[in-house]
């Protein structure tokens, strides 16, 4: 039987650390990881109006779906677009039933 090499946690760390800030940002947003979003933004990642994570959601819409108000606030501070030609974060917030996030988006 052939042994499968074990990937060390150091190697995994190095692969993640070497990923582009934008890729780390997208992974953090999809994973609802605020500290990862903060780190990627500090390293130069930018919220875009494009869909991420293999789903039809922008970064801001992912944060809204997770009802992560801190991430929504951070993304808005980083000038995350509220709408694009395909979707609208305000509509996502209304459907999610989160009045506080709706207020954040229209403020």
Could you give the CA distance from residue 85 to residue 8 in angstroms, rounded to a whole number?
43
Residue 53 clears pLDDT 80, i.e. is over it = no
What letter would DSSP give residue 88? B
Most confident option among 18-27, 52-61, 69-78: 69-78
Short-list 84, 57, 56, 55, CA closest to 68: 57
Q: Which of 2-6, 52-56, 88-92 has the lowest mean pLDDT?
A: 2-6
CB contact at 8 A, 25 and 53: no
Could you give the CA distance from residue 16 to residue 94 in angstroms, rounded to a whole number?
34
**Segment 1-43, tens digit of pLDDT:** 565 555 555 544 544 556 899 999 999 999 999 999 999 999 9
- pLDDT given for residue 16 in this prediction: 52
Short-list 59, 46, 70, CA closest to 92: 59
Residue 105 clears pLDDT 50, i.e. is over it = yes
Average pLDDT estimate for 47-59: 83
Short-list 91, 13, 82, 96, CA closest to 47: 82
- pLDDT given for residue 12 in this prediction: 45
- pLDDT given for residue 11 in this prediction: 44
- pLDDT given for residue 60 in this prediction: 95
Phi-psi region of 44 (alpha: psi -120 to 50; beta: other; left: phi over 0): left
């Amino acid at each position: 039987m052939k042994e499968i090499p074990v990937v060390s946690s150091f190697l995994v760390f190095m692969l993640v650390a070497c990923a582009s800030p934008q890729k780390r940002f997208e992974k953090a947003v999809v994973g609802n990881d605020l500290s990862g979003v903060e780190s990627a933004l500090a390293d130069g990642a930018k919220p875009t109006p494009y869909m991420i994570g293999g789903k039809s959601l922008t970064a801001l819409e992912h944060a809204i779906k997770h009802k992560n108000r801190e991430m929504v606030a951070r993304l808005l501070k980083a000038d995350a677009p509220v709408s694009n030609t395909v979707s609208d974060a305000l509509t996502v917030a209304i459907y999610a039933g989160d009045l506080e996030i709706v207020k954040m988006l229209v403020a």
